[in-house]
Amino acid sequence: MILAAGQTAIEAKGVTKQFGTGQDAVKALDNVSVSIRENEFFTLLGPSGCGKTTLLRLIAGFDFPNEGEILLYGENIAPLPPYKRPVNTVFQSYALFPHMTVAQNIGFGLEMLGKPRAEIDKRVSQMLQLVRMEELANRRTSQISGGQQQRVALARALAPAPKVLLLDEPLSALDYKLRKDMQIELKRLQNETGITFIFVTHDQEEALTMSDRIAVMSRGKILQIGSPRDIYDRPSVRFVANFIGETNFLEGDVLAVEGASATVKLAGGGTIVAGLPEGLKPHGRVTVVVRPEHADLVKPGGEADLWGKLENIVYFGTDTHYYVKLDGGEAFIIRQQNSHGAGSGHAVGNPVGVALEANSAQVVRD
Amino acid sequence: MGVAQQAADRAERDQIRKRWLLSSPALIIIFFAAIGPLAVVVLYSFMVKGDYGDVKYWQFSLDGWFNVVAERDMFDDTLGLAWANISIFWRSLKLSFITTIITLFFGFPTAYFIATRKPDKRDLWLFLITIPFWTNILIRTFAMQEVIRNEGIINSALMGLGLVDQPVQIMFTDWAILFGMVYVYLPLMVLPLYASLEKLDFRLVEAGYDLYANRFQVLWRVIIPLVKPGIVAGCILVFIPSLGAYVIPRVLGGGKNMMLGNLIDLQFGQGRNWPLGSALSITLMIIVTLALLVYVRNTAKGGGNGHV
């Protein structure tokens, strides 16, 4: 789902950040440009070291870019210190002040902004209510659980009503169950406050379930920006397809290109029509990706795009994974939803065909 | 049952005996090195002074304590306050307090600087800070004399630059004592401050900046409350030895600008008034104890680096 294209809240323009100098120099961000809309839940997704946290820290003001601009509603904030930016951060470690109570923590930002006491108190109790922590207002932050600390960190960052909220892997320290709850909670908070969220994570599932849009990053560059469905169904780069979800990679030769799709003759036999990433007009050898759930097993004699031998069947409860070794030698995984009491009728060792769903294949850049 | 009980009792007695035996070295040291001598000093403070030093044993008097703050006029025998002693107490407290403030003022940025270096560079800086400790305090004090005396480095420089016509008299003033004490005791401030700052979670500092606190507010509202134990420890570590300083006021302050340590020394030496010397020592101890109580109360009240 893409929200009605609102105003741009944050825009990075050609941002480069380098750590160290000379031979030890590491480019954490390499000419990155991205624009994030107002009220959007925007996720920076990537493996550790991909530059996602660096980008967040540049927006927060803890680091300054070597090149490029960071625009907040059109105004370049890159040279401003963090305390002059109407942007707040939820830290991975929460970074709650241990010498203050929960309420003092939440009120700290407003106090520093010089708000009158009465207004601070009112806002703090609103925030406590928002994150359902009213009873623990006067506790020390060391006397509350990890999940509660997480809520306090959120309330503290939301209290000054920032234009943009930055979240640096805020759920990574929580256990699975709590993380699920907090994902829903975060989404609720974003809806209720209407604040633009920029969320950093390496967890693809978290990114897919929560985000309006995702930017997948690797080695200091943004590889693809799109809605979770775009990113999952139409990965434009091999890395994105590989990083998010399970994927089958197939080699093939382009026979023809028409608009946004190409006819590809697969190395394994069949000829398919595959979607093309924007701006790519391929010829010759290409890589095509197909998600495991977008293909079906076919018994010999049926109509299929590829043929091979069924090597393994793994039952997962909700679905079953079929591992096929294609005649071309490549591995292909098919995931099928299980229905009650019905077996698949396939057996390991049998020759099988693989039928791809229409429009499910996608050519990726290497 | 009875036998078992006896065996249990015996085992317990053995346990207790073993415990005393194991702690005996510590107990012996505590008695002979701390409690014993202290008891002697307390006892002496309540005895009559001997004519040539020492005390007249088992002749008790409160004169020693009385003389701490009061004295009889030599000629008309009227009572008055011992202004000489009081001014020395005052000078000791004043100079120790100022020394503590100055070392804190310079020590904090120094410790902060070291704590924010890369881990492998910190050791080098700490090493540099502790180098003066390798030298005897007397030598360090004489070195300071070389810096501040009329023909010394500071005055030569000032005169060479034409800033003053004649040397500024620093030696044998309270300033000289201050210079000396700040120099000698600065490491005692830096080390505990460093220990606290090194443990400081700098993400909290970032959180402070993120929540609109400027540099001064972050220092005041985030850093200082978190390193308070280090600040208090440093202040105590500087204040206590400053109060009892002996060598520095002796060498740099001369005979006129005495501090408590010198006054006590005087009573046991030329003054030949051991009871007064003892009473002064105990008084000094009481002041130190009070300072320590402040420390204990401050650190017990939580705060500190209690990160989760």
Contact across the interface for A83 and B204, Cβ inside 8 Å: no
- Return d(Cα B128, Cα A17) in angstroms, integer: 35
C-alpha pair distances (Å), A58 with each of A10, A14, A154, B223, B226: 12, 13, 20, 23, 27
Residues contacting A338, CB < 8 A, separation 6+: A315, A317, A318, A319, A320
pLDDT at A344: 67
What is the percentage of chain A residues whose pLDDT exceeds 70? 98
The per-residue pLDDT for range B204-229, each reduced to its tens digit, is 999 999 999 999 999 999 999 999 98
Chain A residues in contact with B226 by the CB 8 A cut-off are: 98-99
Whether the CB of B47 is below 8 Å from some CB of chain A: the reply is no
Q: Please tell me which residue of chain B has the smallest CA distance to A60.
A: B210
Pair (A228, A255) in one structural domain:
no
Please tell me whether residue A224 adopts helix, strand or coil conformation. strand
CB contact under 8 A, B211 and A109: yes
* pTM as predicted: 0.81
CATH architecture for residues B82-300 = Orthogonal Bundle (1.10)
User: Does residue A238 fall inside a structural domain?
Assistant: no
Chain A residues in contact with B213 (beta carbon < 8 A) = 83, 108, 112
For B302, the closest chain A residue by CA position comes to A99
pLDDT for B76 beyond 90? no
Residue A3: band (very low, low, confident or very high) from pLDDT cuts 50, 70, 90: very low
Q: Is B299 on the interface with A (CB under 8 A)?
A: no
Model confidence pLDDT, tens digit, residues A221-233: 999 999 999 999 8
Same-domain pairing of A333 and A358: yes
Does residue A256 form part of some domain? yes
Q: What is the CATH number of the domain that holds A70?
A: 3.40.50.300
For residue A10, what are the β-bridge partners?
A: A36, A72
Dihedral sign for Cα atoms in the order A13, A14, A17, A21 = negative
Note down the domain range covering A114: 8-233
The alpha carbon of residue B85 is apart from the nearest alpha carbon of chain A, in Å, by 43
Does residue A239 fall inside a structural domain? no
Query: Are the Cβ atoms of A97 and B207 closer than 8 angstroms?
Result: yes
Strands A164-168 and A87-90: parallel
pLDDT in tens, B169-205: 888 989 999 999 999 999 999 999 999 999 999 999 9
Query: Is 90 exceeded by the pLDDT of residue A95?
Result: yes
Nearest CA in chain A to B226: A99
Name the residue ranges covered by the structural domains of chain B. 2-80, 82-300
A3 in a domain, yes or no? no
Q: Is A99 a member of any domain?
A: yes
Tell me if A238 sits within 8 A of A244, measured CB to CB: no
| Contact call for residues B113 and B252 (beta carbons, < 8 A) | no
* Pair A58, A17: CB distance under 8 Å: yes
Residue B307 in this model has a pLDDT that exceeds 60:
no
Do A255 and A314 lie in a common domain?
yes
Q: Does A251 share its domain with A192?
A: no
Subunit contact A91:B203, Cβ cutoff 8 A: yes
Residue ending a domain, among A181, A212, A233, is A233
A79 and A219 within one domain: yes
For the stretch B126-181, pLDDT in tens is 999 888 888 888 999 999 999 998 888 888 999 889 888 888 888 898 999 999 99
* A223, A250: one domain: no
Total domains present in chain A: 2
Contact B204 A156 (CB under 8 A): no
Give the end-to-end CA distance of chain A in Å, rounded to a whole number.
27
Closest CA to B179 of B263, B105, B252: B252
